[in-house]
Amino acid sequence: MPPRRRYSNQEYLEMVLCYRECNSITAHAVNLYHERFGVRVSHHTILDAVYRHREHGRFDPPPVDAGRPPYSAELEEEVLDFFRRHPLTSTRDAARVFDVSHNYVWRLLNREGLHPYHFTRVQELHPQDYAARIAFCNWLREERRNILWTDESTFTRVGMFNIHNAHYWSEANPRVVRPDHFQTRFSVNVWAGILGNRILGPVFLDRLNGDTYLRLLRTRVRRMLERIPLEEVRGLHFQHDGAPPHFALSVREFLNGVWYGGERWIGRGGPVPWPPRSPDLTPLDFFLWGRVKDLVYGQTGHDIRSVEELKRRIKRAFRLVKSETDTLNKVKRHVRKRAYICVQREGGLVQQFCR
């Protein structure tokens, strides 16, 4: 094989200029360079010249530090130490800092077992929240508590759609679109509860305020609890968070009069205070709503045409989740695990530690 020809900086520059004149069409740039200089170069040579000029601002290979060969063990350690000190940096930034290729940085990090992890979205905590979370989790760990966890959630027509995670695989661009139903949106408010490995609900609410919530507690919730064996509701604590309808005076008066003399309910203003901004501690937030919405929307959430269809999907999803007995038993144990982790982390959030 004949040795590869070495081109001067001026020749590389002429190749780049031809490439730009031909609107970045490599085949045309090859022909133009041949017409001007009588030399036939390959399209790889022109692309190599363009890459060197764009990435390094020079045509000759980038220099390395004196006394250190490229990609040496010392260089690898410097790159790894750079990521230890700057874990948020990008691989392209690191490649520019050390004047190496982007692929080299990727291969090095993968070989050393480093992976690019995504951030976890969490609820912001206020300074006063940590002590409240520790107090509640210590109370939860003192003994086996029989708690009816409750919450409400809103289901919309289209659910959640992340355009960055949605793809359509095809050999050619199919120009797919996703209609936005912003002019015909509707939603449904749903109440549910978890008691041990039982799921209560769903209960559909036209609107959520103090009056409708009080009516829910007096009628639907009471009837559901009356159907449960007595040994499963003995020593029951009722839980809800600090949403405004839960804090209505009529609701608090009802709970103080009904739930075991007002001593066994958890919430804002209750005998057992609920720590604000703590969705990571209730099984409806860290398990049920996400599981149900995955089943309701799936890959065809945008095809929901009416409120009635949305309600049918919700009911079907609840029936499926209620049948997952093993999963519900794990969720029950997971509540105590989260309380333990929260105390260990001095009231900090626990989502990223409970995979």
pLDDT digits (tens, 9 = 90+) for 79-89: 888 888 888 88
Indicate if 180 and 302 belong to the same structural domain: yes
Please, are residues 198 and 224 in contact by the beta-carbon 8 Å criterion?
no
Of the candidates 309, 272, 275, the residue with the CA atom closest to the CA atom of residue 146? 272
Q: How far apart are CA 151 and CA 267, in angstroms?
A: 11
Which residues touch 12 (CB under 8 Å, ≥6 apart)? 49, 52, 53, 59
Indicate if 198 and 251 belong to the same structural domain: yes
Q: How far apart are CA 129 and CA 276, in angstroms?
A: 7
Tokens of 163: 């355009």
pLDDT tens-digit profile of 47-59?
888 877 777 777 7
pTM: 0.67
Average pLDDT score over residue span 265-270:
94
Average pLDDT score over residue span 5-34:
86
Average pLDDT score over residue span 247-256:
94
Indicate if 20 and 139 belong to the same structural domain: no
Average pLDDT score over residue span 92-119:
84
Indicate if 38 and 77 belong to the same structural domain: no
Mean pLDDT lowest for which of 8-22, 138-152, 194-208? 8-22
Q: How far apart are CA 334 and CA 340, in angstroms?
A: 10
Indicate if 87 and 23 belong to the same structural domain: no
Partners of 200 in beta bridges: 193
**Can you give the pLDDT at residue 119?**
73
Indicate if 181 and 34 belong to the same structural domain: no
Examine residue 228 and state whether it is found in any structural domain, yes or no. Answer: yes
Please, are residues 351 and 280 in contact by the beta-carbon 8 Å criterion?
yes
pLDDT band at 61 (very low <50, low <70, confident <90, very high): low
Examine residue 120 and state whether it is found in any structural domain, yes or no. Answer: no
**Can you give the pLDDT at residue 68?**
42
Partners of 193 in beta bridges: 150, 200
pLDDT tens-digit profile of 307-330?
999 999 999 999 999 999 899 989
Burial of 127 (0-12, 13-18, 19+ CB in 10 A): exposed
Indicate if 240 and 138 belong to the same structural domain: yes
Angle at 95 between CA 92 and CA 97, to 5 degrees: 110
Indicate if 34 and 138 belong to the same structural domain: no
Examine residue 116 and state whether it is found in any structural domain, yes or no. Answer: no
Examine residue 64 and state whether it is found in any structural domain, yes or no. Answer: no
pLDDT(70) > 60: no
pLDDT(165) > 50: no
How many domains are contained in the chain? Answer: 3
Mean pLDDT lowest for which of 101-105, 137-141, 269-273? 101-105
Examine residue 152 and state whether it is found in any structural domain, yes or no. Answer: yes
Indicate if 253 and 136 belong to the same structural domain: yes
Examine residue 348 and state whether it is found in any structural domain, yes or no. Answer: yes
Mean pLDDT of the chain: 84
Average pLDDT score over residue span 160-165:
48
Range of the domain at 33: 9-56
**Can you give the pLDDT at residue 266?**
96
Of the candidates 210, 200, 216, 223, the residue with the CA atom closest to the CA atom of residue 150? 200
Examine residue 119 and state whether it is found in any structural domain, yes or no. Answer: no
Of the candidates 322, 149, 298, the residue with the CA atom closest to the CA atom of residue 238? 149
Provide the CATH number for the domain around residue 169.
3.30.420.10
